[in-house]
């Protein structure tokens, strides 16, 4: 009889260990809040992508990059095409539009580094290119750009017209690449509209 009692106790112990423990109501509420915030965040991102327009070509941005401007934390999300020169080439054109050639006075520095060379004539000024990018949406300073893989994938699936004059082809990024390679092997991007360029630079 003692052995039977011992077996029953082990069976009861196993049964208790297997029983699930319900989460406290406070922890469950936290998990629900986190899930709700993630859902809202994804919906907001989706809306940003749906409304995204490249400020250079005024189309859905293909092979898009996200410009990191000073208003990023306030919700500014300027997406721009980063395609090659065979397509719209928007990012490169945007950078060129903001590149300035500035002169750096080097005579004083040269005389300090090499006092014996200072003959009162000085040295010629050095010229360097400096980019001062402004966000096309909020006019804040752009510090760089990044690739958002999910946004790029979503926007690449969007259809847009071929950038070549007198061409009515419409397709997503993958189809456009095949079209341009087959139909416009010597294609080059159109020049930036001077009105748009002036608008970018206007502070």
pLDDT tens-digit series, residues 133-172:
999 999 999 999 999 999 999 999 999 999 888 899 999 9
Residue 125 lies in a domain: no
Residue 56 falls within a domain, yes or no?
A: yes
pTM here? 0.64
C-alpha dihedral, 57 to 97 to 84 to 88, nearest 10°: 20
Asked if residue 141 is part of any domain, the answer here is: yes
Asked if residues 88 and 189 have their Cβ atoms less than 8 Å apart, the reply is yes
Q: Specify if 24 maps to a domain.
A: no
pLDDT at residue number 196 = 65
Per-residue pLDDT tens over the stretch 56-75: 989 999 999 999 999 999 99
Phi, psi of 171 (to 5 degrees): -175, 170
Q: Is the pLDDT of residue 48 over 90?
A: no
Residue 111 pLDDT level (bands cut at 50, 70, 90): very low
Between these two residues, 13 and 87, which has the higher pLDDT value? 87
Which of 153, 148, 152, 135 minimizes the C-alpha distance to 72? 135
pLDDT of residue 107: 42
Residue 62: inside a domain:
yes
CATH of the domain at 85: 3.30.40
Residue numbers of the domain that contains 85? 40-96+132-195
Q: Would 2 be classed as within a structural domain?
A: no
Compute the residue count for the chain.
203
Q: Is residue 83 part of a domain?
A: yes
* 3-state secondary structure (DSSP) of residue 194: helix
Total number of domains in the chain: 1
> CA-to-CA distance for 133 and 139, rounded, in angstroms?
9
What pLDDT, on a 0 to 100 scale, did the predictor assign at position 182? 94
- The verdict on residue 157 lying in a domain is yes
| Strands 99-104 vs 160-161: parallel, antiparallel or unpaired | unpaired
């Amino acid at each position: 009889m003692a052995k039977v009692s011992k077996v029953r106790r082990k069976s009861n112990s196993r049964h208790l260990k297997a029983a699930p423990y319900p989460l406290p109501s406070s922890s469950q509420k936290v998990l629900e809040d986190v899930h709700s915030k993630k859902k809202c965040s994804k919906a907001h991102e989706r809306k940003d992508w749906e409304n995204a327009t490249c400020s250079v070509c005024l189309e859905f941005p293909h092979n898009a990059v996200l410009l990191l401007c000073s208003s990023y934390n306030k919700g500014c999300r300027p997406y721009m095409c980063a395609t090659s020169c065979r397509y719209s080439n928007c990012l490169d054109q945007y950078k060129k539009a903001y590149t300035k050639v500035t002169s750096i006075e080097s005579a004083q520095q040269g005389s300090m580094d090499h006092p014996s060379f200072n003959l009162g004539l000085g040295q010629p000024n050095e010229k360097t290119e400096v980019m001062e990018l402004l966000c096309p949406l909020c006019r804040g300073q752009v510090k760089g750009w990044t690739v958002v893989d999910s946004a790029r994938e979503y926007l690449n699936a969007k259809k847009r017209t071929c950038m070549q004059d007198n061409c009515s082809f419409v397709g997503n990024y993958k189809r456009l690449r095949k079209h341009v390679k087959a139909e416009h092997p010597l294609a080059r991007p159109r020049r930036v509209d001077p009105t748009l360029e002036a608008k970018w630079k206007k502070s």
